[in-house]
């Protein structure tokens, strides 16, 4: 007979409870507690019970988990970055506090929004190409974008190499030296001129004759630098920025005119520069 069975079947009117408990290595509290539970639950009281705490003090509440998932959906539907760092930033802005990035990542994993894939871990190089100060270097490049009516246009983007600030984002029919210069001037009117400009070897950025981009920059004392042919990694920041921009545009209403596209770019610029965390400046 098990000890538990002996406890619940014992006749306490004739039993020395203290001696019984001492001989069986149990406390008197357990003796009476087991008899009490047996009277309420029957044989179920004799089954082994979990020793796990009924409430885990550091477990993320269901309410907080739901807020994380809701914010993830909101950001994703609008085409914004919706990783743990961004979600944490917005939760702090809204609620004044937030779980850690690791906790947010685990919540998203458990809810099925993230599938761990170690193969996707980026391969870090020992040397990073990044300016040390704002306006030390700007990167400029153009990317193609197709409107719903089949018309192909180009978007000229300019970002700051150090802070990743979006200096300018301009929709044009075709990227030329003239409208590339206009994009730089538009950005400089608000943010000032950089020390140097970095671009690839596109025709619009290599002009050296009258009205060319290179002479115009040199006239202002700005150095003009270019990446090696077939080496897009040199301009990797703006190449990656193109992906971020296009992800957002795909989630917006379809527009068929360049002016409407420009308005979308202006809204994107405002959010990108002022309402999201920037990894390059400590997620501020």
Residue 65: count of CB within 10 angstroms of its CB: 19
When mean pLDDT is compared across 19-23, 28-32, 114-118, 156-160, the lowest value belongs to 114-118
Q: Going along the chain, which residue ranges are E strands?
A: 137-146, 152-160, 166-172, 196-199, 223-226
Task: Supply the pLDDT for residue 54.
Answer: 77
Residue 231: count of CB within 10 angstroms of its CB: 11
CA atoms within 13 A on the CB side of 87: 26
Task: Supply the pLDDT for residue 120.
Answer: 62
Task: Supply the pLDDT for residue 55.
Answer: 76
Residue 284 banded pLDDT, cuts 50, 70, 90: low
What's the mean pLDDT when you consider all of the chain?
A: 88
Instruction: Give the contacts of 143 (CB within 8 A, at least 6 positions apart).
Output: 154, 155, 157, 242, 245, 246
Q: Please check the confidence at residue 264 and state whether its pLDDT lies above 90.
A: yes
pTM of this structure? 0.71
What 3-state class would DSSP assign to 37? helix
> What are the φ/ψ torsions at residue 51 (nearest 5 degrees)?
-95, 5
């Amino acid at each position: 007979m098990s000890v538990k069975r002996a406890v619940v079947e014992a006749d306490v009117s004739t039993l020395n409870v203290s001696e019984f408990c001492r001989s069986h290595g149990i406390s008197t509290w357990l003796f009476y507690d087991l008899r009490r539970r047996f009277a309420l639950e029957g044989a179920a009281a004799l089954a082994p019970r979990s020793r796990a705490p009924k409430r885990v003090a550091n477990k993320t509440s269901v309410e907080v988990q739901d807020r994380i998932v809701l914010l993830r959906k909101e950001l994703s539907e609008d085409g914004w970055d919706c990783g743990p760092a961004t979600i944490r930033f917005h939760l702090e802005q809204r609620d004044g506090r937030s779980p850690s990035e690791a906790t947010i990542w685990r919540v998203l994993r458990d809810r099925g929004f993230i599938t761990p894939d170690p193969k996707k871990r980026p391969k870090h190089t020992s040397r990073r190409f990044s300016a040390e100060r704002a306006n030390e270097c700007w990167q400029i490049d153009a990317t193609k974008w197709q409107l719903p009516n089949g018309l192909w246009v180009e978007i000229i983007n300019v970002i700051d190499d150090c802070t990743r600030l979006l200096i300018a984002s301009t929709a044009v029919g075709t990227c030329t030296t003239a409208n590339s210069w206009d994009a730089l001037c538009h950005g400089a009117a608000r943010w000032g001129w950089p020390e140097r400009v970095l671009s690839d070897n596109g025709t619009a950025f290599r002009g050296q004759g009258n009205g060319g981009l290179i002479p115009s920059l040199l006239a202002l004392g700005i150095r003009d630098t270019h990446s090696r042919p077939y080496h897009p990694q040199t301009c990797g920041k703006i190449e990656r920025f193109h992906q971020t921009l296009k992800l957002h545009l795909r989630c917006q209403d379809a527009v068929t005119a360049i002016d409407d596209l420009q308005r979308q770019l202006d809204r994107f610029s405002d959010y990108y520069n002022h309402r999201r965390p920037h990894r390059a400046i400590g997620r501020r």
